[in-house]
Amino acid sequence: MATATPDHKIDITNDVCPMTFVRTRLKLETMTPGQVLEVTLGAGEPLKNVPRSVTEMGDEVVELAEITDTPGTYRLIIRKGS
């Protein structure tokens, strides 16, 4: 399955909850429905909370995968909902 090409990217690996979700949400709010956001995040609370929260807000998690050359860091691909 091909991954959607991101329209925007943010890196929240140095942020802590709840700022991880706040920064993700603020970026999504600037985007139009259907656009794709790539979020780089760390393990632990961000990995658990950000995907769940964006889904609850009506956006779609397209992919969530560990970045192979940076263990403990993940790539989250989100498609903005309507």
Q: Is 17 a catalytic residue?
A: yes
Other beta carbons less than 10 A from residue 43's beta carbon: 13
Start-to-end CA span in the chain (Å): 23
46's enclosing H/E stretch is helix 45-56
Please state at what angle helix 19-29 crosses helix 45-56, rounded to 10 degrees. Answer: 40
Residue tagged active-site, from 4, 17, 31, 57 = 17
Enzyme catalytic residues: 17
